[in-house]
Amino acid sequence: MRASQCGSGRPDGELSRFTLRIRRSAAGWPTARKHGMSGRPAGQLGGMSIELGKVGIHQLPSGLTPEVATEVEALGYGAIWVSGSPPGDLGVVEQLLDTTGHIVIATGIVNVWQDDAATVGASWHRITARHPNRFLLGLGIGNPEATREYQQPYAKLVSYLDQLDELQVPAEGRILAALGPRVLRLSAERAAGAHPYLVTPEHTRRARQILGAGPLLAPEQKLVFETDPERARAIARPRVQNPFLGLANYVSNLRRLGWTDADLAGGGSDALIDALAVHGDAVAIAHGVTAHLEAGADHVAAQVLNPDPLPALRALAGQLQLTRR
């Protein structure tokens, strides 16, 4: 499937890029203008401009060697999402920015229970001073099973955003992990948009309806570059089951999408695993990405579950006709 032929759930089907534009208001605070798949005119407006592209990768820091990062950039991916709750000093982000030349680095996500806003805000300012327009701060409240202090999570997130405002970390420089309607709405009001994790294109469609046309929607999609269904599920099922099918936030979201107790039991039904971790050849995994774009996503963070992700990322880049750099 040619990337230029894919729909987006929006008037303009162009897959080349999505750009966050920040313009200063009369009061001096930044306000976002977003251009790209919405069909509004592109062009530099001044201030900060973060260009994510249509497709990025989602990877644990342990898999983001300098060799992987530089090849991903050369293949034409627009962003690297650092998963696994990176520490608030964001040293891993800075190292990746130092290693690469132009690709955006985003966090997917910094856990607000793990590091205070002052630490994260200072890291944001340090990194953006050295690498302007190349860092997007992904934030989230994590899961109650993993955090002893997990009480009133929505209030915690709002308070954290208030502190970042005071530290002059602009809303347009951050994105929120969001699954349910309440946090999706918050991500539109207090951030550049939403970064849902472990979701299907149906969730993307619903999220776009909640967010409206403006905010950035950048879901994660797991992929397995393997044509044999049993081998593919043997790779995917452990990564979905542990820990996600034991975490209330994700299970509740899957139930909202219509998945049943039978689907969620025993490590996940084949249908659930296949939806959450799309498998197959280059055409099939490319469709797993473009299905989100067609449902209204602006950018998709592709997480390859194969032990060596590079063959899949090369095949995906070729199928989507990403522009090599």
Q: State how far the Cα of 325 lies from the Cα of 321, in Å rounded to an integer.
A: 12
- pLDDT tens-digit readout, 247-294: 999 999 999 999 999 999 999 999 999 999 999 999 999 999 999 999
The continuous run of DSSP H or E covering 76 comes out as: none
Q: Which two tokens stand for residue 193?
A: 């948009």
Q: Which two tokens stand for residue 40?
A: 């509004």
Residue type, 298: D
Strand partners, 31: 23
Q: Residue 76 pLDDT > 80, yes or no?
A: yes
Edge-to-edge strand order for the sheet containing 49-51? Answer: 30-35, 19-24, 49-51
Strand ranges for the chain from DSSP E: 19-24, 30-35, 49-51, 55-59, 79-83, 104-108, 110-111, 135-140, 174-176, 193-194, 216-217, 220-224, 277-279, 300-304
Q: Which two tokens stand for residue 260?
A: 């049943």
Q: What are phi and psi of 304, to 5 degrees?
A: -85, 130
Burial class of residue 149 in the structure, from the number of CB atoms within 10 Å of its CB (0-12 exposed, 13-18 middle, 19+ buried): exposed
- pLDDT tens-digit readout, 112-124: 999 999 999 999 9
Q: State how far the Cα of 85 lies from the Cα of 13, in Å rounded to an integer.
A: 33
Of the two residues 28 and 102, the one the predictor is more confident about is 102
Average model confidence (pLDDT) across the chain: 87
Domain layout of the chain by residue ranges: 3-320
Taking Cα atoms as reference points, which of 238, 194, 251 lies closest to residue 219? 194
Rounded to whole angstroms, what are the CA distances from 253 to 7, 58, 178, 219, 275?
Answer: 25, 20, 10, 14, 14
Say which CATH class 3-320 falls into: alpha beta
- pLDDT tens-digit readout, 171-203: 999 999 999 999 999 999 999 999 999 999 999
- pLDDT tens-digit readout, 38-74: 332 222 213 458 999 999 999 999 999 999 999 999 9
Rg of the Cα trace of the chain? 18
Degrees (nearest 5) of the Cα angle 78, 287, 101? 10
CB 169 within 8 A of CB 131: no
Residues 139, 86, 132, 221: is their CA dihedral positive or negative? Answer: negative
Strand partners, 20: 34, 50
Strand partners, 105: 80, 135
Tell me how crowded residue 46 is: count the other CB atoms within 10 A of its CB: 9
Burial class of residue 13 in the structure, from the number of CB atoms within 10 Å of its CB (0-12 exposed, 13-18 middle, 19+ buried): middle
- pLDDT tens-digit readout, 252-265: 999 999 999 999 99
